[in-house]
Each structure stands twice: as structure tokens, then as C-alpha cells.
Amino acid sequence: MIKLLNNISIRNKLLGALGILFILGLISGLVVDASVTTAKKNLTVLQNVSELRNTMADINTLADNVPQTLTAFLNSGDMREKEKYETDLLILEKT
């Protein structure tokens, strides 16, 4: 094998080495591109999950407030509490 390399000109050896470096660079670039694409997809999924989690937290807060406003209305008889209860209930039903 070494005799074969001794018979090849320096120019061809350098071109072969350059070709190998080019191929290695191309492969590493493709691997990095695939990793970045996967990271972007994962980030999008995490953002969607975060938005869904925030929405669910808002709904839970609103669902907790509806019985409290109804209780406040029943205890006080204040019509403002009834209006607040009806508004909260409508918002809860829409979500």
C-alpha cells in the first residue's frame, strides 16, 4: 500500500486530501443542519405546550372564581356579584 502511495504524484495526493477534507466538511455540515432543524422543531413543540399550559392555568383560575362569585352573590345579594358571576361563566363556557 505504501508503494502505491509513493507512486502517486504530490499534486494528486494533495487533491485527494483536499477532496477528503471537503467530504468531511460536507458531512459535518449536514449533521449540524439536521441538529438545528430538530432543535427548531422541538422548540416549536415546547412553545405550543407552554401556550397550552398557560391557557389551562387561566381556565383553572376562572373555574375557581366562578363558584366564589356565586357564593359572594348568594351571601351578599349584591347584583354586581351576580353580573360578575354571569360574565365569568360566559367566559368559561366560551373557552
pLDDT tens sequence across 31-48 = 999 999 999 999 999 999
Beta carbons of 89 and 66 less than 8 angstroms apart = yes
Question: Can you say how many angstroms the Cα of residue 72 is from the centroid of all Cα atoms in its chain?
Answer: 41
CA triple 84-63-50, angle to 5 deg: 120
Region of residue 28 (left: phi > 0; alpha: psi -120 to 50; beta: else): alpha
- Indicate the average pLDDT of the chain: 87
pTM of the model: 0.56
Q: Is the pLDDT of residue 2 over 80?
A: no
Q: Work out the average pLDDT over 49-70.
A: 86
